[in-house]
Amino acid sequence: MITFLDLSRYFERLEQTAKRLEMFTILAELFKQADPAEIAPLIYLTQGELLPSFRGLQIGMSEKLLIRAIALGAEREPADVTATFKQTGDLGKTAEALLDGKGRHLSVKAVYDELVRTAGISGEGSVEDKVAALAELLRRVSPAEARYIARVVMGKLRLGAGDATILEALSVAILGDRSGKAALERAYNLCSDLGVVGEQLLAGGLKGVEAIHARLGYPIRPALCERLPTTEEIIGKIGRCSVELKYDGLRLQIHRDGDTVEMFSRNLERMTAMFPEIAEAVTRSLGAERAILEGEALAVSETGELLPFQVTMQRKRKHGIAAMAKDVPLCFFAFDLLYLGGEDYTPKPYTERRAKLRALLKSDPVIELSRAIETDDPAELQRFFDEAVANGQEGIVAKRLDGPYTAGARNFNWIKLKRSYRGELTDTVDVVIVGYSAGRGQRAKFGVGTVLAAVYDDRSDLFKTVTKIGSGFSEEELRELKAKLDEITLDHKPARVDSLMEPDVWVEPRYVLTVMADEITRSQMHTCGKEEGIPGYAMRFPRTVGFIRADKRAEDATTVAEVIELFDQQKRVKVE
Ligand code: ATP
């Protein structure tokens, strides 16, 4: 049994490290001590959560309520707590400074269960009950533990341990080496729940992990597309393929279990309440009681025209859903079937999944099968692509006929070809902000002049810098960006960031920006693709397209391998 005090000491060590390898070693040491009943809570807490976000359980406490809970626990006035908070700037440290409990060596499980219970309190008077429950918990722990409880409650633990690092640490802790990593990743990609994967590993070893398959209620991590610059190269790579329209809307994964329909976004957030007409259409027209579908939801006009992304985006809202559903009706273009009646469909070939999907969809105004042709002729593919672009779509996705659905992976089973941006890169790059500098002159007044941006190296689970961006932001965006980044500043380089540059301020890698650049060049200054004696890669004349990508997590940024691929492709594309 691990006590919460032990865990707090581990958190302290994790917080102080600026090296990924050290972080990994500490995590492996921690997981080694866990028993099957506590591994899931341990993993969730390490990620600063009570459950994966798709489960929709949030503790739901504002700063103000936590201040009241600390005051109640410490038998002080809320004003005293606020005063200490002003000095420390951190409610964790505030709780630590003001509470003086002796601690009762509560187990991790006991603290976790109490936090889950508190999060679940609802109904009339629930706010007061939550404050009282948390105050009681704070009274029962020592100051060092209170620090971390307060941070978890505020969603500000921010240890920066990524999913891949946790999986690798689990493998080393339980199996003694990294040999289980691939199996653990496969399982995680199918259930998106590190706690479930950890539990299975501890309870049933690798066999237990291998038994994890797609299931209802657990979003499957999305399969992603590779890029190729021409239709000839696509056919050269995968031969005869299915070419689908690339709809420019919102990706949705739909889980139907009888009358219950759940929907998840690309980054696995629960979206069910937002799209009632799609939920209705699924219950009405899908010829299967239990299934997982994937597709793109798009606003359509009365005459059935596909409308631009910005129009669809108006449907992403928490309030006024019914009215907006009337004004901006959606159509769901289903493009994959991932599960059917108890069976995991992800390992099956594309043609089989598609045939089944077609057979299951009855004609319905709100759900349609994605449009596709099958071809091995680059010229025919080109015509389909040109037509798609002429109709305002982004391009096409070519799919390998015998390809399985590779959850959570980007590979050549799916290849995207987007309309090109003249004289520019063949695609935008999604970067994650890792720091910023104030900038000079005009910009200084916003506090953010340039942001230091990185791409993701999935092999090492590190963020590697690729560019500094100062263009493309409106004044309003700069202000908003500053406020957002202020919430996630760190006093040292984040452990998983690999950088030769030192921005004024480091931030937790969280916000993803889509960036267009003139080209990718070799660079000594950036760590993306840099190896001993070999220069890295950088983006030249970068500017942002749109603002923060709410549908992507830091690890969903473009990868180092993709940047290198784009570098190679720019030499192959004919300039029109
Ligand atoms: P990615 O999702 O590949 O990380 P991204 O979010 O920037 O990148 P794109 O590169 O533009 O998106 O293209 C991939 C996306 O295209 C998918 O995530 C999906 O939402 C969308 N899409 C639209 N039509 C299809 C289709 N027919 N098949 C697969 N994906 C499609």
Sequential DSSP letters for 194-228: HHHHHHHHHHHHHHHHHT----TTSPPPPPEEEE-
246 and 382 fall within a common domain = yes
Q: How far is the CA of 246 from the centre of ligand 1 (A)?
A: 7
Q: How far is the CA of 450 from the centre of ligand 1 (A)?
A: 29
* pLDDT above 90: percentage of residues in the chain: 78
From the list 130, 246, 464, 468, the catalytic residue is: 246
> Of 525, 524, 528, 533, whose CA–CA distance to 557 is shortest?
528
Rounded average pLDDT over 115-122: 93
> Of 301, 360, 357, 361, whose CA–CA distance to 331 is shortest?
301
Cβ(147)–Cβ(93) below 8 Å:
yes
Tell me the C-alpha to C-alpha distance, in Å, between residue 4 and each of 32, 144, 172: 16, 10, 23
Higher-confidence residue of 392 and 30: namely: 30
Q: Which of 14-18, 395-399, 502-506, 572-576 has the lowest mean pLDDT?
A: 572-576
Confidence band, pLDDT 50/70/90 cuts, at residue 122: confident
Q: Give the domain CATH number at 75.
A: 1.10.3260.10
Q: Is 468 in the pocket of ligand 1 (CB under 6 A)?
A: no
Q: Domain range holding 200?
A: 163-210
Cβ(70)–Cβ(95) below 8 Å:
yes
**DSSP structural state of residue 575:** P
Rounded average pLDDT over 462-474: 91
Determine the pLDDT at residue 297: 97
For 318, list phi and psi in degrees, rounded to 5.
-100, -25
Atom 16 (ligand 1): residue with closest C-alpha?
246
On the question of pLDDT at 424 being above 70, the answer is no
In a domain, 215, yes or no: no
Q: Is 417 in the pocket of ligand 1 (CB under 6 A)?
A: no
Q: How far is the CA of 416 from the centre of ligand 1 (A)?
A: 8
For 219, list phi and psi in degrees, rounded to 5.
-65, 140
Higher-confidence residue of 416 and 474: namely: 416
In a domain, 219, yes or no: no
Average pLDDT of every residue of the chain: 93
449 and 551 fall within a common domain = yes
* Mutational test site, ligand 1, from 357, 396, 416, max ligand atoms within 8 Å of CB: 416
Determine the pLDDT at residue 470: 86
Cβ(514)–Cβ(539) below 8 Å:
no
295 and 316 fall within a common domain = yes
Which of 143-152, 309-318, 563-572 has the highest average model confidence (pLDDT)? 143-152
Higher-confidence residue of 55 and 196: namely: 196
Angle between helices 108-120 and 143-154 (to 10 degrees): 40
**Furthest CA-CA distance within the chain:** 76
496 and 388 fall within a common domain = no
- Other beta carbons within 10 angstroms of residue 536's beta carbon come to 23
Atom 19 (ligand 1): residue with closest C-alpha?
251
Ligand 1 atom closest to the Cα of residue 418 is 11
Please state, in angstroms and rounded to a whole number, the distance separating the CA atoms of residues 525 and 523. 5
263 and 235 fall within a common domain = yes
On the question of pLDDT at 421 being above 60, the answer is no
Please state, in angstroms and rounded to a whole number, the distance separating the CA atoms of residues 135 and 210. 42
- The residue among 417, 450, 468 that closes a domain is 417
Cβ(563)–Cβ(410) below 8 Å:
no
Look up 246 and say whether it is catalytic: yes
Q: Which of 104-113, 220-229, 298-307 has the lowest mean pLDDT?
A: 298-307
Determine the pLDDT at residue 575: 42
Ligand 1 atom closest to the Cα of residue 556 is 4
Determine the pLDDT at residue 420: 67
Cβ(396)–Cβ(388) below 8 Å:
yes
Q: How far is the CA of 21 from the centre of ligand 1 (A)?
A: 33
507 and 358 fall within a common domain = no
Q: Is 223 in the pocket of ligand 1 (CB under 6 A)?
A: no
Helix (H) or strand (E) holding 335: strand 330-340
Q: Is 298 in the pocket of ligand 1 (CB under 6 A)?
A: no
SS3 320: coil
Helix (H) or strand (E) holding 485: helix 475-486
**Number of structural domains found in the chain:** 4
Angle between helices 4-16 and 20-32 (to 10 degrees): 170
* Mutational test site, ligand 1, from 221, 225, 268, max ligand atoms within 8 Å of CB: 225
Determine the pLDDT at residue 391: 83
* Mutational test site, ligand 1, from 220, 221, 224, 350, max ligand atoms within 8 Å of CB: 224
Q: Is 559 in the pocket of ligand 1 (CB under 6 A)?
A: no
Q: Give the domain CATH number at 559.
A: 2.40.50.140
* pLDDT above 70: percentage of residues in the chain: 97
Rounded average pLDDT over 251-264: 97
Confidence band, pLDDT 50/70/90 cuts, at residue 99: very high
387 and 253 fall within a common domain = yes
In a domain, 21, yes or no: yes
229 and 368 fall within a common domain = yes
- Other beta carbons within 10 angstroms of residue 254's beta carbon come to 26
On the question of pLDDT at 574 being above 50, the answer is no
Determine the pLDDT at residue 251: 97
Take residue 146 and report the two structure tokens written for it: 């209170």
In a domain, 217, yes or no: no
Q: At residue 499, what is the residue type? A: S
The residue count for the chain: 576
368 and 280 fall within a common domain = yes
352 and 465 fall within a common domain = no
Q: Is 397 in the pocket of ligand 1 (CB under 6 A)?
A: yes
Q: Give the domain CATH number at 318.
A: 3.30.470.30
Q: Is 225 in the pocket of ligand 1 (CB under 6 A)?
A: yes
Q: Is 332 in the pocket of ligand 1 (CB under 6 A)?
A: no
In a domain, 459, yes or no: yes
Q: How far is the CA of 221 from the centre of ligand 1 (A)?
A: 13
> Of 425, 400, 421, whose CA–CA distance to 412 is shortest?
400
For 166, list phi and psi in degrees, rounded to 5.
-65, -45
Cβ(573)–Cβ(230) below 8 Å:
yes
In a domain, 218, yes or no: no
Rounded average pLDDT over 283-305: 94
Rounded average pLDDT over 9-38: 94
In a domain, 451, yes or no: yes
Question: Which tens digits make up the pLDDT trace of 475-509?
Answer: 889 899 999 999 999 988 999 999 999 999 999 99
Question: Which tens digits make up the pLDDT trace of 320-339?
Answer: 999 889 899 999 999 999 99
On the question of pLDDT at 422 being above 70, the answer is no
- The residue among 383, 417, 451 that closes a domain is 417
Q: Is 562 in the pocket of ligand 1 (CB under 6 A)?
A: no
368 and 406 fall within a common domain = yes
Print the SS3 string covering 27-92. Answer: HHHHHHCCCHHHHHHHHHHHCCCCCCHHHCCCCCCCHHHHHHHHHHHHCCCHHHHHHHHHHHCCHH
Alpha-carbon torsion 109, 110, 111, 116, what sign?
Answer: positive
Cβ(465)–Cβ(453) below 8 Å:
yes
Ligand 1 atom closest to the Cα of residue 222 is 18
Please state, in angstroms and rounded to a whole number, the distance separating the CA atoms of residues 266 and 223. 10
Q: Is 429 in the pocket of ligand 1 (CB under 6 A)?
A: no
Determine the pLDDT at residue 520: 92
Determine the pLDDT at residue 390: 83
Ligand 1 atom closest to the Cα of residue 399 is 28
Determine the pLDDT at residue 446: 79
On the question of pLDDT at 515 being above 50, the answer is yes
- The residue among 129, 154, 179 that closes a domain is 154
549 and 435 fall within a common domain = yes
Cβ(314)–Cβ(297) below 8 Å:
no
Residues 6+ away with beta carbon under 8 Å from 319: none
Q: Is 296 in the pocket of ligand 1 (CB under 6 A)?
A: yes
- What does DSSP say about strands 489-490 and 536-540: parallel, antiparallel, or unpaired? unpaired
**DSSP structural state of residue 465:** E
In a domain, 424, yes or no: no
Rounded average pLDDT over 234-247: 97
